[in-house]
Amino acid sequence: MHQPPLSDTDLDRIIGMAWEDRTPFDAIKAQFGVSEQAVIEIMRRGMKPSSFRMWRERVQGRATKHFAKRNFAEGRHKCDRQRAISNNKISKR
Tens digits of residue pLDDT in 6-37: 889 999 999 999 998 888 888 899 889 999 99
pTM of whole model > 0.75?
no
Task: Please list the alpha-helical segments (H only) found in the chain.
Answer: 8-19, 25-32, 36-46, 49-59, 82-86
pLDDT at 88 over 70: no
What is the predicted pLDDT for the residue at 49? 94
Spatial CA neighbour of 44 closest among 7, 18, 6, 24:
18
Radius of gyration over alpha carbons of the chain, in Å? 16
Give dist(CA 17, CA 43) in Å, integer.
Answer: 11
The number of beta carbons lying within 10 Å of the beta carbon of residue 31 is 13
